[in-house]
Amino acid sequence: MSDHRSSALVAGGGGFIGGHLAARLLREGYRVRVVDCKPVDEWFQVHPDAENVVADLSLLDAARAAVDGMDEVYNLAADMGGIGFIEGNKTRCMLSVLINTHLLMASRDAGVDRFFFSSSACVYAAAHQVAPDLEPLREEMAYPAMPEDGYGWEKLFDERMCRHFAEDFGLRTRVARFHNIYGPHGTWDGGREKAPAAICRKVAAAVINNDDKIEIWGDGEQSRSFTYIDDCVEGIRRIMRSDCDQPLNLGSDELVTINELVDLVQEIASSSLKRRYNLSAAQGVRGRNSDNTLIREQLGWAPSVSLREGMSETYSWIYKQVGYASHRFLP
Ligand code: NAD
Ligand code: GDD
């Protein structure tokens, strides 16, 4: 019997955002194929109702097999991480260009209906991010270009590649610039974790081990906005369904300093800890926030989950992971 459901490839679905997106597409009734290069037992979430495939999507043949028979392609696959990883692994970050390029070529040749690329706030020009309280980033501020070295250039190049595949071949491409996404089932240790997960892990470990100090990278006065995973997945689906073929910010506009983020996590954990500031650790830009005017205009929607709400969920999940890792039974 033939299957009449819409079909979607989630490339990089063994990772954080792809794992959540695959769950959402399955709930919506899609036939879902998840492809990731990691062995399945290392995937952050495994959905038994999906077709789960291990393959290296930087290879053209693997990309062709992955998109075969798919109506929609979501590219969430990349070799990336938080600022500590991207500053120290510029070549690896840039080589992700092979994944997107081959997925675009394969999608064009297979007649895929819509293609989604996950770009980043790291495409924005450095000059707009030199202080913690500068104006939020509007989409046009990516040009004249001076993005994050390595990772940001790869994302900006891939955004343009999507545009040209749309112009030259009629492939319907959609692009979101994610602003620091966090939530349960994300990377929380090992070197690729971003600030929200890293701070939760450090506070949870201090609570569990009765320590009184945690290390913070930088002086804690650098600023960011952090976007909860549910808003990210909702935004991806809305952007994919929309007629907007320009890159859109997909980010919260609730700006905080890293010290304020730490205050919040300590409050959630009911703990009081001293901070040791490591000024030689990776810090990235001094300030970054999302301007959501364009996404509101285009979609009539923008992320809305508060940092307190999202971080409460995230802290509970990470607290349990830290407990399992240290073989402690936790309440
Ligand atoms: P993640 O690291 O959790 O997931 C990425 C997945 O891609 C991993 O499971 C990895 O194994 C897989 N992958 C890497 N190379 C591959 C290859 N050659 N073939 C197949 N799979 C491969 O990252 P994430 O947080 O889920 O991010 C998803 C996407 O969103 C990435 O493109 C990332 O650059 C982008 N992004 C994320 C954030 C964020 O804050 N999480 C911010 C901006 C942009
Ligand atoms: N990772 C991490 N770990 N960051 C810390 C820590 C820590 O323990 N303590 C303080 N920070 C500070 C960093 O120094 C940085 O100034 C800030 O928190 C944010 O760090 P990250 O969350 O690692 O990254 P980012 O916001 O600079 O960049 C990230 O977001 C982009 C999109 O907005 C990266 O993950 C990029 O890959 C992503 O595209």
Q: Please say whether the dihedral angle defined by the alpha carbons of residues 199, 312, 27 and 71, taken in this order, is positive or negative.
A: negative
Which residues lie with the beta carbon below 6 Å from any ligand 2 atom? 80, 82-84, 86, 120-122, 151, 178-180, 193-195, 198, 216-218, 222, 224, 258, 281-284
Round to whole Å and give the CA distance between 67 and 261.
40
Q: What is the pLDDT along the chain (331 residues), one digit of tens a residue?
A: 578 899 999 999 999 999 999 999 999 999 999 999 999 999 999 999 999 999 999 999 999 999 999 999 999 999 999 999 999 999 999 999 999 999 999 999 999 999 999 999 999 999 999 999 999 999 999 999 999 999 999 999 999 999 999 999 999 999 999 999 999 999 999 999 999 999 999 999 999 999 999 999 999 999 999 999 999 999 999 999 999 999 999 999 999 999 999 999 999 999 999 999 999 999 999 999 999 999 999 999 999 999 999 999 999 999 999 998 887 656 6
Q: Which atom of ligand 1 is nearest to the CA of 38?
A: 11
Residue 253 Cα to chain centre, angstroms: 16
pLDDT, position 89 = 98
Q: Does ligand 1 lie within 6 Å of residue 38's CB atom?
A: yes
Q: Which CATH architecture has domain 7-182+227-250?
A: 3-Layer(aba) Sandwich (3.40)
CB of 16 within 6 A of ligand 1: the answer is yes
* Residue among 47, 56, 76, 181 whose CB has most ligand 1 atoms within 8 A, to mutate: 76
Distance 286 CA to ligand 1 centre (A): 24
Pocket of ligand 1 contains residue 180 by CB under 6 Å: yes
Please work out whether the CB of residue 53 comes within 6 Å of at least one atom of ligand 1: no
Ligand with the closest atom to the CA of 123: 2
| Helix (H/G/I), strand (E/B), else coil: 135 | coil
Verify whether ligand 1 is closer than 6 Å to residue 158 (CB atom): no
Query: Ligand 1: does its nearest atom lie under 6 Å from the Cβ of 120?
Result: yes
Contacts of 243 (CB under 8 A, 6+ apart): none
- For residues 273 and 208, what is the distance between their CA atoms, to the nearest angstrom? 13
195-224+254-325: which CATH topology?
UDP-galactose 4-epimerase; domain 1 (3.90.25)
Residue boundaries of the structural domains of the chain: 7-182+227-250, 195-224+254-325
Q: Whose CA is nearest to atom 25 of ligand 2?
A: 83
Predicted-complex ipTM score: 0.99
Taking the CA of 102 as reference, the closest ligand is 1
pLDDT of residue 326: 82
Global pTM reads 0.98
Please, which residues have CB within 8 angstroms of residue 219's CB and are 6 or more apart in sequence?
A: 277, 279
Res 330: pLDDT: 62
Task: Answer whether 290 contacts ligand 1 (Cβ < 6 A).
Answer: no
How close is the Cα of 87 to the center of ligand 2, in Å? 10
Neighbour tally for 180: CB within 10 Å? 20
**Of all atoms in ligand 1, which is nearest to the CA of residue 82?**
40
Distance CA 154, CA 139 (A): 17
Tell me the catalytic residues: 151
**What are the DSSP calls for 289-300, one per residue?**
-B--HHHHHHHS
